[in-house]
Chains A and B, each alone.
Chain A
């Protein structure tokens, strides 16, 4: 429903109260998704599951012209957040273009589990959107490798 000009504008205090109340309701909706997902990801990390996933994915990184070790950063970024990802990337001695490439790819696809949950809580299809993000990150990474190979950038 659009707000029409004739609509009565409630007083400021009432708007603040109403907003805060809606805030509680909204946060509650989000917490139902966020809390269990966070715990699952944290347990996976504690039991070394993320490391094994990095080993699995390392050969894939060659597709994007990146060293295999960056796979660990992609797993950390994809399942935890970007701060975890750069902690892994920092010691790898990547070229500036490779860092930019990682930045675009991880910028698109990071913190997938939690943000997927949050997207679901808005009523959009969180699963489909998460799949889109992974595919898009791959496409972007591949494009950027092409750009460098053609000498357009990097």
Chain B
């Protein structure tokens, strides 16, 4: 009984260690890149696409980190964006919904390609479902007046 509990705690602590090792440098890099011109332009460039799923450019970095790195590490950046007031509740939920369906895509897809799955189908279906669902919800759940700035 004690060994089982001990091993569970040990595994949990190791996971936390992994989070510390990855999230802290990631946020330090994020803080540096946030001001770099290329990344701000990326925000404006993707704005029309983001608007389809009801998000503003402040959600670009959290979204892309999540899509490629996964929820655990992407969440670090989402939490940070929420804390600085760049994303409201609605955007948090929409980003969460998109990422819930479609995250860590490279790792996930490769795992199943190993077993003989079709990468294009797996990636395409998840992306399509995420865009469809988030876009639909964004249209049903209108932003309250004043909660979204339309200025670019």
Query: Taking chain A's interface residues, is the majority helix, strand, or loop, or is none over half, making it mixed?
Result: helix
- Decide if A31 touches B116 in the complex (CB within 8 Å): no
B115 touches A129 (CB 8 A): no
Per a CB cutoff under 8 Å, which of B26, B89, B100, B118 touches A96?
B118
Q: Is the CB of A102 within 8 A of B35?
A: no
Chain A residue with the shortest CB-CB distance to B35: A9
* B 9-27 binary contact with A (CB < 8 Å = 1; else 0): 1011101100110011111
Chain A residue total in the interface (Cβ 8 A): 64
Tell me the minimal C-beta distance from A14 to chain B in angstroms.
9
Given known pairs A20-B24, A133-B100, the reply for A35 and B71 (CB within 8 Å) is no
Considering the complex, give the chain B residue whose CB is closest to the CB of A24: B24
The tally of residues in B whose CB lies under 8 Å from a CB in A reads 68
Known: A30-B79, A128-B93, A129-B96. 6 other contacts (CB 8 A): A1-B86, A16-B31, A23-B27, A34-B12, A43-B4, A140-B125
Which residues of chain A have a CB within 8 Å of any CB of chain B?
A: 1-3, 9-10, 12, 15-16, 18-20, 22-24, 26-27, 29-31, 34-36, 38-39, 42-43, 46-47, 82-83, 86, 89-90, 94, 96-97, 99-100, 102-104, 106-108, 110, 114-115, 118-119, 121-126, 128-130, 132-133, 136, 140, 144, 153
Q: Which 8 A-B pairs have the closest CB atoms?
A: A19-B31, A103-B112, A23-B24, A19-B28, A124-B96, A42-B8, A23-B27, A38-B12
